[in-house]
Structure 1
Amino acid sequence: MKKLFIASLMASMLAAPALQAAEYEIDTQGAHAFIQFKISHLGYSWLYGRFNTFKGNFSYDAAKLADSKIQLEIDTKSIDSNHAERDKHLRSPDFLNVDKHSKATFVSTKIVPKAGADFDVVGNFTLNGVTKEIVINATKLGEGSDPWGGYRAGFAGTTSINLEDFAIKNILGPASATVHLDLSVEGIKKS
């Protein structure tokens, strides 16, 4: 009888569907996610800005971090450096060329776990019509229930891109060749 019970239990475990990573929607409605950047201005100061409009989602399972995925879509017209004339120039063909390329996207291709809560997100970033592989150095900030009956998971990440890699003219000199991106992503688990 005991052998029959164990055999039945093993058969039911094998027949049970494999657990999958939970799906999350990035919380942009509540302004709990940010895509910010900084770039050197001629080597004399830092210019800071952000993209105000973006959306995305990710799948995440703490037990199988390498199986996680993320995708983002950024409205490049929403660039905001707190200076209207500069933003107009950043939207022009000199930089983001938003009339031709109004969206930038990121789609992960691989998650590489590191020590503790750290991991690398490898993926394809498309900007100004050019797609290049980039690596985002990421950290899990936390996860758990929220006060509204939902469940959330949050992450932060940084990466740097060279403007010329994305066919963006570097008109401000060598000190301004690289853009540093800071990402803060809080997702709400889908039901």
Structure 2
Amino acid sequence: MKKRLLGSLIAGVMLVAGSVNAADYVIDTKGAHASIQFKVSHLGYSFVVGRFNQFEGGFSFDKNDIKASKINVTINTASLDSNHAERDKHLRSADFLNVTKFPQADFVSKSVVDKGDGKFVLNGDLTLNGVTKPVAIDADYIGEGKDPWGGYRVGFVGHTQFALKDFDIQMDLGPASSHVTLDLVVEGIKQ
């Protein structure tokens, strides 16, 4: 009986270990091989484009089982940079991101839908300005392989859009400026 139980336990562990091929990665922000950029229409005449200079995170990924992937990212909201000091001060204020009260934004994935051909939808919860809402990120797998420093990397691009009012950002600049677009570049270093 003990041999059967031990055998079943070993077989179970081997089955679980064999099906878990996802590798863990840290997002390469130190080497500036990742970015979070935003774009908002300015009154319907132009666009305000900027980025967050400080963020960190990690993810698990297996290209043979994309739906098992997971990611989490934390953004320092005060690191917002639209290349205009007065505008940045206003965007950091309670009118928009309220960075004094909410110094970080977080994204935690909940599920991944594999669309095939290196395309997938990353579903998760975004917490911004003290509000947590589900968002979907359309993403593309770019590639992976060894780097010149002896490591292993994988990269993606992603895109999402959401309404500012969904995150309790009440500043109203008109219907053309009601949504923000995020463009993401993520390069991870295998741990």
**TM (normalized to structure 1)?**
0.91
Q: How many corresponding residue pairs?
A: 180
Compare 14-23 and 126-135 and name the one that shifted more. 14-23
Give the SS at the match of 2:64. Answer: helix
Q: Residue type of the partner of 1:54?
A: F
Describe how 1:62-73 pairs up with structure 2 within 5 A: 62-73=63-74
Q: Which residue of 2 aligns with 1:102?
A: 103
Q: Identity of paired residues, percent?
A: 57
Distance 1:184 1:13 in 2: 40
Structure 1, gaps ≥5 residues long: 1-10
Structure 2, gaps ≥5 residues long: 1-8
Describe how 1:1-191 pairs up with structure 2 within 5 A: 16=14, 17-18=17-18, 19-190=20-191
**TM (normalized to structure 2)?**
0.91
Q: Residue type of the partner of 2:71?
A: I
Distance 2:10 2:63 in 1: 24
Distance 1:55 1:12 in 2: 37
CA RMSD of aligned residues (A): 1.4
Distance 1:59 1:164 in 2: 31
Give the SS at the match of 1:155. Answer: strand
Deviation per CA, 1:33-70: give whole Å up to 9, x if none.
00001000000101100000000000001111100000
Q: Which residue of 2 aligns with 1:5?
A: none
Give the SS at the match of 2:65. Answer: helix
Distance 1:41 1:187 in 2: 33
Q: Residue type of the partner of 1:147?
A: P
Distance 2:159 2:58 in 1: 18
